[in-house]
Amino acid sequence: MRENNNEKPNIFAKSAAVTFGISLLISFAVMLAASWGVSTGSMPPNSMPGAAAAACGTGAFVAGLGGAALFGKRSLIAGITSGMAYFLLLYIIGAIAFLRMAPASPVVGMLAAALIGGTLAGLLGTRKKKRRG
């Protein structure tokens, strides 16, 4: 008897969900560290937009590494796409949680950080070709 392919879970969807979950946890950890730095006085309070961009960039980097690992030959495109998808995921979660859209200035920094993080992950996640000889 042949197994039905619809009953098997999609391994790419599971891997992407786990990767984005780990990326969210890393971003939350970076933001928690920045909040701790502000509350102890070691960071100025006006540095939080930069910390949000850094958290978005590190999360996009981890998501890009996961995307590059899933799609080995097109790792740069997978990294950029993962970084952009991660930014959109964060933006939608923020819009739902705070019931309003964020101002434009921090969003541009977060978008740039997400694209740079995904691109770096795509470049670093490439598999080197084995030399024959």
Domain membership of residue 102 (yes or no) is yes
CB contact set of 93 (below 8 Å; sequence gap of 6+): none
The closest of 71, 53, 63, 56 to 11, measured between CA atoms, is 71
pTM for the full model? 0.78
Kindly state whether residue 129 falls inside one of the protein's structural domains.
Answer: no
Q: Is residue 5 part of a domain?
A: no
Structural domain including 40 reads 10-124
Answer yes or no: is 133 within a domain. Answer: no
Q: What's the CA gap between 11 and 23, in Å, rounded?
A: 18
2 in a structural domain: no
In a domain, 132, yes or no: no
Interval 50-91: pLDDT, tens? 888 888 889 889 888 888 887 777 888 888 888 888 888 888
Q: How many domains does the chain have?
A: 1
